[in-house]
Structure 1
């Protein structure tokens, strides 16, 4: 996957549209933050799903990072490290939104999980969140108070977090220190327009609507400044060179997601699949250190957003399957001794 031969700067947004987007994001940020906060206050997670530590690092003292240490950990034992980057369109949510996932991964696989925070758009557009993560990841890997096996380190993220994970690991300061990468239903490029992406999406029925159809352009406006070059590999991460990424990459897509096609194209490009292999591996393939899985019957945010009726049973099954598959892959690949 190569960037276009001509520059692709982000187009400016009309003034009134920008005002509307800003107001919409402010309301959405407030609703999500206080709404989920209230639910957590009324129904707190059990102790087994809460972090052992909350850490700040001098490089980004305002950001709170959540550390999950499995109860099975023994003093002096070094653990594989999985770094989690939460989603939310670069503008929403906080690390605690991923507490259940992080606790499950830590407790099931006896690994250390660190869930990172980053500055949010529109107050802090690209590249601020990427720079935040680069600095914080470096600080985590230098933190001798954490029981990290530095030969077994992986990073992953959901949606926007998947993009940010791929962007951050390209930093020269992190080269050779991150061994695995797991982007879950990520956005990987902005050169293709939203209407074009919607045309590639699978649909269950003519009434089926992608959850990003309305919010996607608003999130894009908040994160990408007018004039920003869209082919920048720290932004459209599908254009990154393979030699600056971890050796092991597992991309997880959701079938009914307008971002699924671009994620699939990215991992197929990294794996150097020919046309026949691309057709055969549409739903899944594994070639060397590269792996792809398209989860059937679920939408963007499947592990966070409840579904209705029979779709909820499918969603819960896909959560269980995908978490187990990622855990197994990590120990065959980047966490293998």
Structure 2
């Protein structure tokens, strides 16, 4: 991964194509904003259950709001582990509130301070703006004297686009000695598409249930257009983290992916390269050279984010789903606790 790849640059498409893509992207943004806004109004009491302890804005990015979660068990003068969260949404939709439930769970189940970052969204703010926003805010969080944080126990994670941003942000030299572990959930790792596989539609089970079209099949090209400026080299490691040298990352990384997810193969290829073992397989969980790989069987992209449905529709199937998601987050928390307990030094290269 240390050799320099040949640049991959997508030419500017014709004007009609650009107009069509823009109309589709802004249509998705409008629909997403309407649906999320309406959901938060009608289920306000449910959302309030997972609300942060407080919100905060830092001078480096005063237009962006961070959501801060302090454990209910916190006692004055305690120093707690820190988990920095970056939300997903294809770099174009969503906000930190999208991850409130996950942040609330990790905070109160494992006793972490959790800070959820906001970043400006594409296409108005394409690469590298979201990476820069999250990097500067992460540095601000780590320098915040008001947070009761043990700076020897810091991790960062996120889902989908947030997982990709986690891998991008952590490459910044200013964070090299500050982040101990990363948890990218089904991350975007390769916009060159050299390491990306085919779309993975979920087949129907014997009872006819479970069939689903890969959730990114009809939207990945739109997120691609929105996020990547014309003339951008797609092998830039901050855009496609799979091209980054292993030495720039923390020593501990937990890739958590889904079987029926278009992004699974590129995440596996990155995990395998970082582990330095080409004999590893995608369909078996493994932990090699500080890199942990887990692929959830029979799951689809964004399975973590869809867990919020169980709070609104708590039927038996939904309750089972809720327990499955909490089990996944439980494994993440247990892994982080083990990393923190061993007090590994961040990678010094």
TM-score above 0.5, yes or no: yes
Describe the superposition over 1:30-67 as per-residue Cα deviations: whole angstroms up to 9, x where unpaired.
22123212211221236441101111001000001100
Q: Which residue of 2 aligns with 1:19?
A: 19
Question: What stretches of structure 2 of length at least 5 have no aligned partner?
Answer: 206-210, 344-349
Specify the SS of the correspondent of 2:19. helix
Select between 302-311 and 242-251 the one with higher mean Cα deviation: 302-311
User: CA, structure 1 residues 11+205, in 2 after alignment: closer, same or farther (shift >3 Å)?
Assistant: farther
Cα root mean square deviation, aligned: 2.4
Partners of 1:14 and 1:318 in 2: CA distance? 46
Match of residue 40 from structure 1:
40
Q: Deviations over 1:175-227 (max 9, x none)?
A: 11010000000110011179x6325x364259742111111000000000111
Matches within 5 A, 1:1-337: 1=1, 5-44=5-44, 45=46, 47-192=48-193, 197-198=197-198, 201=200, 203-204=202-203, 208-275=212-279, 278-279=280-281, 282-305=283-306, 315-334=321-340, 336-337=342-343
Instruction: Please report the TM-score for the alignment, with normalisation by the length of structure 1.
Output: 0.92
Question: Structure 2: how far apart are the matches of 1:103 and 1:231?
Answer: 35
What is the CA distance between 1:305 and its match in structure 2?
2.9
Displacement after TM superposition at 1:25 (Å): 1.8
Question: Quick one: distance in 2 between partners of 1:314 and 1:46?
Answer: 20
What is the alpha-carbon distance in structure 2 between the residues aligned to residue 318 and residue 333 of structure 1? 23
The Cα offsets for residues 284-316 of structure 1, whole Å up to 9 and x where unpaired, read as 101232100001111100122369999867754
- 1:153 deviates by 0.3
**What is the CA deviation profile of residues 61-84 of structure 1, one whole-angstrom value per residue up to 9, with x for unaligned ones?**
000110000100001101100000
In the alignment, is the contact (CA less than 8 A) between 2:201 and 2:213 conserved in 1?
A: no
Instruction: Measure the CA separation in 2 of the matches of 1:67 and 1:186.
Output: 23
Per the normalisation by structure 2, the TM-score is: 0.89
> Could you tell me whether the CA contact under 8 Å between 1:152 and 1:336 is conserved in 2?
no
Q: Could you tell me how far apart the structure 1 residues matched to 2:325 and 2:83 are?
A: 18
- Structure 1: gaps of 5 or more residues: none
